[in-house]
Chain A
Amino acid sequence: MPISALNATQALIRRKLNAGPRRRRKAELLLTRREVTWRERLVILVPYLWMILFFLMPFLIIFKISLSVTEIAIPPYSPIVTFEDGAMQIILHLENYTFIFTDEDGTYMKSYLKSLEVASFSTLLCLFIGYPIAWALSKCRPATRNIMFMLLIMPSWTSFVVRIYAWMALLKKDGLINDVLMALGIIDSPIHMLQTDFAVYVGIVYCYLPYMVLPLFTALLKVDYTLIEAAYDLGARPVKTFFSVLVPQTRSGIIAGSMLVFIPALGEYVIPELLGGKGSILIGRILWQEFFNNRDWPLASAVAIVMLTILAIPIVIFFKSQRKKAEAA
């Protein structure tokens, strides 16, 4: 590049540096940008191609199949592109989508709403339970913190199905919880807990709590406690101090933790299947049934595509928060 052109670009970049913070960061990165060598290209290519082939492609295919209809054939759906008399025909069916939205019983819409309700409420539960735990953990002395940290994450290294199974045994009619409550004379007859929404919430909180605690804990470790002292000295009440000093400082942890619970909880299948009752028809269960029991692959695909559309916003929020963290580091 001739020197004059180089100067011109640099001037342009400098001008951008004086623009807003977002643009400035982009411009700063441009200034430090360098050639990517062919070796580095090779290193980029392996994970990139893997993910394009086994992560992006499947979603394009799911979308394609959601636009066909089920047929008794192998594979069990109608082809979208057919050749008839030498002419290519593309037939797109929107039936699956109209069926989801206008089904007479409203099964699909109801289960989407139910899933949203369960996912939101469990996220809040995890936040309310996880925040004090993360706080207590962050305030321990380093040696105690190490041990406590290990104890808190140890159960999540054991199998997911086993943890759900453990709750089945506890929540049963003749399970340990009912036995203890009856022995203590708190209740006269066993409470029906298994196969209720209550059991589903217990299961989700039990399995997803670590995903909430970990980001909160990382955020709480970085909190500047002198600001809290300052707030007190200026006469702020504890509740106000909590919301105006602690919460903003741990925002990144709250966002990351909530998304890590909300997104997978929305499509949860195993927990409502094993702990939930007939009423806990969440969308993950519907998708599973359409696929395995009814063998309606196109409808299952359409259910998945609608679910993905709902999840687009939380996924973008999560992705942005992760990016910010990466840039900060």
Chain B
Amino acid sequence: MMKGFLKHHGASNIAKAVILLLALIFLYTPIMTLVVYSFNESKMVTIWTTFSLHWYNVLVHDSAIISALCMSLTIAVMAASASVIIGTMAAFVMVRVRQFAGESAFMLFMTAPMVLPEVITGLALLLLYVTLGDFIPVFADRGIIAIWVAHVTFCSAYATVVIRSRFIELDTSVEEAAKDLGAGPLKVFFAIMLPSLMPAEVAAFLLSFTMSMDDLVITSFIAGPESTTLPMLIFSSIRRGLSPEINALAAIIIFVASIGTFIGWLSMVRKQKRIAADVAKAQAEAKRERESSMLGGLRG
């Protein structure tokens, strides 16, 4: 099998299938169990009685959860929008401007928020807000705007990575042609670069949205007593133990996220197929043209 690990081999196909199967079992058992038990009627989380939607009913009538959800959604949409704008700017700077004073620091600022432990970032931001709070009231009451600022800071780092990887692939010749024809830099950006960047912009938006929806630690540090986001609510509830209501909520989150990922994946695959088809068509046309010109040459 070791040999197969490196070479194309009959045994390697089996090894491949076994590895992937084990990986999927490991990844899906926990969340699937959760989904199944969310339909359990019993108040006891681990003992199965009968199928019921009881806990879903309890869930939609829980005003605390609904308001936390609304707060999380509002912040996530706002944070994702701002992150995509900042991320596009940062990606432009990294790919097109490249050389400028303080470039190293710029790169570090745009990478570090992704890896730093959240407890550090959370504490640091809170201390900043406390300091700024003396001058700017928005930061003093640590509400939705303060949380939004914190989320934009780490989400834009992720957005930058996603958008940059697409930016690198852009064909500069079209931009240069547009510039030669007299288009200004803004026009070039909105009419030429942005449409080609669109898939990455959407991906970056979705990633930032998920990151923001998901953040617990940083938000816990900075959120004032009035603000509770959905992860904070779930966390404080499961610290007290398992609850069937949280099972139902978790199942909904898993369901929505899976649908979202699936749609995203499907559109990506379609796009890839379209590009592949276009390339094949172009190649076939080029071949036909070459052949016909050769034939023409023969005739002439």
Q: Mark A252-273, 1 if CB is under 8 A from B, else 0.
A: 0000000110011011111001
Please report the C-alpha to C-alpha distance between residue A306 and residue B7 in the assembled complex, in whole angstroms. 46
* A153 to B238 Cα, complex, angstroms: 25
Min Cβ gap A284→B in Å is 5
Is A97 part of the binding interface, using a Cβ–Cβ cutoff of 8 Å? no
Beta-carbon contacts of A47-70 to B below 8 Å, as 1s and 0s?
110111011111101100100000
Cβ of B112 within 8 Å of any chain A Cβ, yes or no, is yes
Residues of the A chain whose Cβ atoms lie less than 8 Å from the Cβ of B26: 206
Contact A229 B7 (CB under 8 A): yes
The residue on B at minimum CB distance from A59 is B124
Contact with A along B178-200 (1 / 0, CB 8 A): 00000001000000000000000
Complex alpha-carbon distance, A153 and B265, angstroms = 11
CA separation between A54 and B149, bound complex, in Å?
Answer: 8
Q: What total of A-B pairs shows CB separation below 8 Å?
A: 265
Q: Chain B interface: which of A11-19, A87-95, A181-189, A236-244?
A: A236-244
B100 located at the interface, meaning its Cβ lies under 8 Å from any Cβ of chain A in the complex: yes
Q: Which one, B54-62, B85-93, B284-292, is touching chain A? A: B85-93
Report the Cα distance A245→B5, complex, angstroms.
13
- Find residues 92-141 in chain B having any chain A CB closer than 8 Å to their own CB: 92-94, 96-100, 102, 106-113, 115-121, 123-125, 127-128, 130-131
Check B269 for interface membership: any CB of A closer than 8 A: yes
| Chain A residues numbered 212-267 whose CB sits less than 8 Å from any CB in chain B | 225, 228-229, 232, 238-239, 241-242, 245-246, 259-260, 263-264, 266-267
Min Cβ gap A45→B in Å is 9
Closest-by-CB residue of A relative to B90 is: A47
Quick check: B94 and A326 within 8 Å, CB to CB? yes
B-chain residues with CB within 8 Å of residue A315 when the two chains form the complex: 112, 115-116
Does chain B have a CB within 8 A of A121?
A: no
A104 shortest CB reach to chain B, Å: 25
Closest Cβ of chain B to A328, distance in Å, is: 10
CB distance from A67 to the nearest CB of B (A): 12
B145 interface contact, C-beta 8 A = no
Name the residue of chain B whose CB is nearest to the CB of A138.
B16
B156 proximal to A (CB < 8 A): yes
Contacts of B110 in A (CB 8 A): 47, 51
Bound-state Cα–Cα, A46 to B47, Å: 55
| Chain A residue at minimum C-beta to C-beta distance from B13 | A139
Chain B residue nearest to A45 (CB atoms) is: B89
A46-B86, A159-B257, A291-B221 known; A301 vs B127 contact (CB < 8 Å): yes
9 A-B contact pairs sorted by A residue (CB < 8 Å): A43-B93, A47-B90, A47-B160, A61-B124, A162-B31, A232-B6, A238-B5, A264-B115, A323-B107
Beyond contacts A44-B89, A158-B254, A307-B120: 10 other A-B pairs, Cβ-Cβ < 8 A, are: A40-B97, A44-B97, A61-B131, A146-B269, A161-B235, A165-B34, A166-B34, A241-B6, A301-B123, A329-B168
Interface of A with B (CB < 8 Å)? 29, 32-34, 36-37, 39-40, 43-44, 46-48, 50-52, 54-59, 61-62, 65, 75, 132-133, 135-137, 139-140, 146, 148, 150-155, 157-163, 165-170, 172, 174-176, 179, 206, 209, 225, 228-229, 232, 238-239, 241-242, 245-246, 259-260, 263-264, 266-270, 273-274, 284, 287-288, 291, 297, 300-301, 304, 307-308, 311, 315, 318-319, 322-323, 326, 329
Residues on B lying within 8 angstroms of A by beta carbon are 2-3, 5-7, 12, 15-17, 19-20, 23-24, 26-31, 33-34, 37, 45-47, 86, 89-90, 92-94, 96-100, 102, 106-113, 115-121, 123-125, 127-128, 130-131, 149-150, 152-153, 156, 160, 164-165, 168, 185, 210, 213-214, 216-217, 221, 231, 234-235, 238-239, 242, 246-247, 250, 253-254, 257-258, 260-262, 265, 269, 272
